Amino acid sequence: MLYSFTTPGMASIHYRSFGMAAVAIAGLPTVWNIVARNEYHRHTIEKTLGGKKAGAYFLAAAIFVASGVRDYLFYNAMANTPGTELPILPTHAFGAGNVGVVRSVMSGIGTALMLTGTTLVVSSFLRLGVTGTYLGDYFGILMEERVTTFPFSHFENPMYLGATLNFLATSIAQNNAVGAVLTGWVALVYHISTKYFENPFTAMIYSRRDEENRAASRASGAVKKH
């Protein structure tokens, strides 16, 4: 079976590794949204493990491991079609004497993006904690109030933005077009996942919690009057 495609004058693209990375990128958030929604409605993991917190930490560990596999497949796709074969920028186009300069500039841009992305990921995690980061609210483990401090003061989904920037950073630093294309796919998948699935459902969870609290408060007030 052929896994790469080559024509005269063109680079060889390793489609098998590229496809596996693309499927993993789209598949991971799809699966965790399905599992989390099932948990919210049916409490499958909670019942199996005997508690909300145990279930939330189990799902967190599963997502963490699966994310590592996805990252491996991303970098493997880059390794199988390196920037020397399919670059973002053909460095030789800037002249043989400027190749080193172009590479240094791209490496610097990659480093800056990596620092930015890592800052967003780490600061988001520190604000949310394990259960806040890994869908603990679907288990009924809710935060007291919405986090509005940095990075949430500037970005709606800083964790996903940071992860995307990290992928982009590696792609630019290695001048790897396959990595750049996969990064675009990451950005699209995260956009669809957050805009149409995660954010609306999470908003519903907290809205329902607030409604229940208001109803309980009204009921408590009515009891006191009597």
Q: pLDDT truncated to tens, each residue of the chain (226 aa)?
A: 334 444 334 468 899 999 999 999 999 999 999 999 999 999 999 999 999 999 999 999 999 999 999 999 999 999 999 999 999 999 888 888 888 999 999 999 999 999 999 999 999 999 999 999 999 999 999 998 889 999 999 999 999 999 999 999 999 999 999 999 999 999 999 999 999 999 999 999 999 998 988 887 777 666 665 5
Spatial distance between the Cα atoms of 179 and 29, rounded to a whole number of angstroms = 19
Is 114 inside any structural domain? yes
Is 180 inside any structural domain? yes
Nearest Cα to 29, choosing from 57, 70, 1?
Answer: 70
The DSSP bridge partners found for residue 13 are 5
**pTM across the whole model:** 0.90
The reply, when asked if residue 116 is annotated as ligand binding, is: yes
Listed in sequence order, the DSSP H helices in 147-198 are 158-173, 177-193
Is 4 inside any structural domain? no
Peptide bond preceding 8 in cis form (omega within 30 of 0): no
Is 7 inside any structural domain? no
**CB-CB contact of 186 with 163 (8 Å):** yes
Nearest Cα to 126, choosing from 168, 162, 72?
Answer: 162
Is 95 inside any structural domain? no
The reply, when asked if residue 199 is annotated as ligand binding, is: yes
Tokens of 195: 């805009």
Is 18 inside any structural domain? yes
* Domain limits for position 214: 12-86+100-219
The reply, when asked if residue 110 is annotated as ligand binding, is: no
Report the number of distinct structural domains present in the chain.
1
The reply, when asked if residue 115 is annotated as ligand binding, is: yes
Spatial distance between the Cα atoms of 37 and 135, rounded to a whole number of angstroms = 10
**CB-CB contact of 134 with 60 (8 Å):** yes
Is 224 inside any structural domain? no
Interior angle at CA 189, CA 30 and CA 107, nearest 5? 130
Is 173 inside any structural domain? yes
Spatial distance between the Cα atoms of 106 and 177, rounded to a whole number of angstroms = 13
